[in-house]
Amino acid sequence: MKSKGGFLKGRAKSLVFTLRGTWYLLTTEDAAKAQFFLCSVFIVIGFYFGINRYEWMFQLAAIGAILAVEALNTAVEKLCDFIHPDYHPKIGFIKDISAGASAFMVLVSIVCASIIYYPYLFHD
């Protein structure tokens, strides 16, 4: 079945949904707020130290990955709560794994930040 709205109208609607979802994430989830704040701090630090384009590439990839994994973690948690509002061990297991993915991405990003900023902080 063909859409009656046209290609551009469909893309505009998708953009609205995307922006709304991002807004919901950043205004309702404390973990996402904290991660967004820390990511913003690292962007400022990157400008302060004048990191090169390759360092920016890795830093922005890490920031994007952190925020994307946090969004997916939040979506999994909300879906689990919707499906089974009461406590259930399997739902808890699923939510723990989802949170673990977010924590793992943060740890990898800390390693990336350490590699990027070590020469700027501890040069001879």
Distance of CA 91 to the CA centre of its chain: 22
The token duo for 80 is: 């689990």
- The rounded distance, in Å, linking the Cα atoms of 54 and 51 is 8
Give the active site residue among 25, 59, 70, 102: 70
Select from 25, 18, 113 the least CA-distant residue to 72: 25
Query: Is 96 annotated to bind ligand?
Result: yes
User: Does the annotation flag 55 for ligand binding?
Assistant: no
CA 8/CA 13 separation, integer angstroms: 9
Residue 70 annotated as catalytic: yes
Determine if residue 95 is labeled as part of a ligand binding site.
yes
29 labelled ligand-binding? yes
Q: Binding residue per annotation — 124?
A: no
In angstroms, rounded to a whole number, what is the distance separating the alpha carbons of residues 58 and 104?
Answer: 17
Q: Do residues 51 and 120 make contact, with C-beta atoms less than 8 angstroms apart?
A: yes
Which segments are annotated as binding site? 29, 70, 77, 95-96
- Give binding residues for ATP as ranges: 29, 77, 95-96
Q: Indicate the annotated binding residues for a divalent metal cation.
A: 29, 77
Report, as residue numbers or ranges, the catalytic residues: 70
Query: Residues annotated in the binding site for substrate, as ranges?
Result: 70
